[in-house]
Amino acid sequence: MANAVAERAARGLDDELRRELKRYLPRYENARAAVLPALHLVHEKLGYVSPKAIEQIAELLGLSPGEVHDTMSFYQFFHTPADPLGEHRVFVCRSIACSLRGGENLLEYLCRQLGIRPGQTTPDGKVTVEFAECLGACDFAPSMLIDGVLHKDMTKEKIDDLIRSWAVRGSQ
Ligand code: FES
Query: Average pLDDT for residues 60-80, to the nearest whole number?
Result: 92
Atom of ligand 1 at shortest range from CA of 135? 3
Architecture of domain 2-74: Orthogonal Bundle (1.10)
For residue 144, what are the β-bridge partners?
A: 92, 151
**How does the average pLDDT of the chain come out, rounded?**
93
Task: Report the greatest alpha carbon distance in the chain.
Answer: 50
The two domains 2-74 and 88-166 share their CATH topology (first three levels equal): no
Atom of ligand 1 at shortest range from CA of 96? 1
So what's the pLDDT on residue 75? 83
Q: Is 13 left (phi over 0), alpha (psi -120 to 50) or beta?
A: beta
So what's the pLDDT on residue 170? 64
Which residue of 90, 101, 130, 138 sits with most ligand 1 atoms within 8 Å of its CB, as the best mutation to test the pocket?
138
When the candidates are 3.90.320.10, 3.40.30.10, 3.40.50.300, 3.30.70.20, the CATH number that belongs to 88-166 is 3.40.30.10
CA 52–ligand 1 middle distance (angstroms)? 36
CA 44–ligand 1 middle distance (angstroms)? 24
pTM: 0.84
Atom of ligand 1 at shortest range from CA of 103? 2
Helices and strands per DSSP (H, E), number in the chain: 8, 4
State the Cα–Cα distance between residues 98 and 42, nearest whole angstrom.
Answer: 31
State the Cα–Cα distance between residues 107 and 122, nearest whole angstrom.
Answer: 14
Q: Where along the chain do its domains lie?
A: 2-74, 88-166
